[in-house]
Amino acid sequence: MASISIKSERIVPTQERASRRLESFLNTAAEIFAEHGYEATTMTEIADRAEASIGALYRYFPDKVAVAQALLARYALEVDSHWASLIEEANELSVAEFAGRLVDLMAEFAAEHPAYLPLIAAPIRFARDASVRQNIRVQFSKAFMARNPEISRERALLIANIVVQLMKGLVSLYAATPPRDRTAVINEFKLVLTRYLAEVLQ
């Protein structure tokens, strides 16, 4: 029994170091993606800036796509939680307020995570976990049913799917738009989303 206890105590620091190294690689990659974009970023540059060997980086990620997927998976969870407070307050907001806050939160998230837009705009499709995609749709559908109890669950999920697709379109267009023109893009999407939700929720 004593030997088992000693072995467990030795494993924990190794796991902690591995977690710290993983976070270091992801944070470093995020910085470089934000600075140079997806295509110009290399595994060698990530390893060098993280002050690690290229072999150490490859032990965690087989290629650059895997690094980008890991970052986007983390961002997906964060952006969904970013919307959580808005979903909880949905019943207390007007349709215009809800639509405006939703779009503003997405723009705020992109500003707080500079690598997010370069990865979204990357010329490659990254898989996103289906359960994560479904979760945000379910949460939106609950908010819509809270606003209008007469809406069926199936109808609320359909509306949620439309809203999620609109937000994906916003993110893609926002990423491809020069910073000086992004406010105009935001305002147009607020208009579109407000009119759509006003039609289906009232």
Residue pLDDT, tens place only, 148-164: 889 999 999 999 899 88
* Closest by Cα among 71, 187, 170 to 128: 71
- In tens, the pLDDT along 41-98 reads 999 999 999 999 999 999 999 999 999 989 988 887 787 777 777 878 888 888 899 8
- The residue-averaged pLDDT of 117-146 equals 73
- Residue 134: the pLDDT is 67
* Triad 58, 59, 61: Cα angle to 5°: 55
In contact, 124 and 65? CB cutoff 8 Å: yes
Whether pLDDT at 3 is above 50: no
Tokens of 70: 């890991």
Give yes or no for residue 6 having a pLDDT over 60: no
CA atoms within 13 A on the CB side of 26: 18
How far, CA to CA in Å, does 101 sit from each of 152, 184, 193? 24, 16, 11
Exposed (0-12), middle (13-18) or buried (19+): which is 112, by Cβ within 10 Å?
Answer: exposed
Q: How far apart are CA 155 and CA 124, in angstroms?
A: 32
Domains and CATH numbers, the chain: 1-62 (1.10.10.60), 69-202 (1.10.357.10)
